[in-house]
Copies of this chain bind each other. A is one copy, B any other.
Amino acid sequence: MRIGIDLGGTSVKAALCEEDGTLLAKQSTPTRTGDAAGLCADMKLLALALCGERGIAASQVTSIGIGVPGSFDKETCTLKFGTNLGMNNVCFAEAFQPEFSCAVQLDNDANCAALGEATAGAAKNARNMVMLTLGTGVGGGIIIDGKLYTGCNGIAGEMGHVVIQRDGEPCNCGRKGCLEAYASAAAFVKFAERALAEGRESLLSKHAGHLDAKMICDAVDAGDLLARELFDEYCENLSSGLASYINIFQPESLVLGGGLAGYGEKLLEPLRRLTIPQTFRSDKCNTEIVCASLGNDAGLIGAAML
């Protein structure tokens, strides 16, 4: 049995999984922001509650994994900077003792989501997969030979931080022209707000100043011309990054997660149409471009599989 924990700024979620990642039970509790001891106590309570719910002993749990937002040190099992949690330098290595004696693993939440989708989700049968989460930023994760790939320092897989346009849009990372600056939900909204500020007519005008990605997608569905133009540009920008990732990895599966992936086939159809012909040997391209299928459970299952 394995336990996976998804440490979010709002709630702490925990799941009990079988060795193969099958999810057996979930529990959650609001996050005690800024209270590291309280948070550790809650995590252990959740783990014990899961065991109680399924009638198993804590000693039967063979691994505990935690998906964390922020930077961390794997070797010491320490959260270094957890801005959303209001705490820094928290060591989780002994947080589950004495009841649980197994090792505790940490990784970032985007990596856990990728591992979850590769274990039990949209890329279940893929040995090699790349996941991009299209949210406030563009995160992601890389699975090679069924395992999470994290590089020599544990921070590989920053899929949003590849330049697709030198000297282009400013990115949060300090560079210009990163994929994140074009393909995140935030960038999608930014371009829409910019077009409205330039006086473009649209159904979106009444939401100017507080747009979100769903509003733009809804306006596409309603036949709005500006929204369609923004969506087409978004897909073109994203396809440029996807084609590059196929040329690098030729993965069985390229999984899109995050808020925008909720648009499903309406996003996948143009992306596939734009991306595949751009790949280097498009005749040999075997990469399936799909949306994540586990939702929030991906991070939980992935954490359990760390």
Binding site for B on A (CB under 8 A): 71, 126-128, 142, 144-145, 149-159, 161-166, 168, 173-175, 237, 240-241, 243-244, 247-252, 278, 280-281, 284-287
Contacts and interface: CB of A to CB of B under 8 A. Distances in A.
Given A158-B280, A278-B175, A151 B249 contact: yes
A166 B159 CA distance: 17
Given A142-B248, A151-B250, A175-B243, 20 more contacts: A128-B149, A128-B152, A145-B145, A151-B249, A152-B250, A152-B287, A153-B284, A153-B286, A155-B250, A155-B280, A161-B244, A161-B247, A161-B280, A162-B244, A163-B241, A163-B243, A165-B166, A166-B168, A174-B278, A248-B248
A128 B152 CA distance: 7
Most buried by B among A158, A237, A247: A247
A247 B127 contact: no
Contacts of A128: 149, 151-152
The secondary-structure label for the interface of chain A is loop
Copies in the complex: 2
Contact of A156 (B71, B127, B174, B248): B248
A72 to B, nearest CB: 11
A161 B249 CA distance: 11
Most buried by B among A162, A164, A248, A285: A248
A154 to B, nearest CB: 8
Nearest to A168: B166
Contact of A150 (B155, B243, B250, B287): B250
A154 B286 CA distance: 11
Contacts of A251: 151-152
A234 B164 CA distance: 17
A187 to B, nearest CB: 14
Contacts of A158: 247-248, 280
A165 to B, nearest CB: 5
A126 B241 CA distance: 27
A120 B33 CA distance: 50
Top-9 shortest CB links A-B: A151-B250, A162-B244, A156-B250, A158-B247, A161-B247, A152-B252, A158-B280, A161-B280, A163-B240
A305 to B, nearest CB: 18
A163 B164 contact: yes
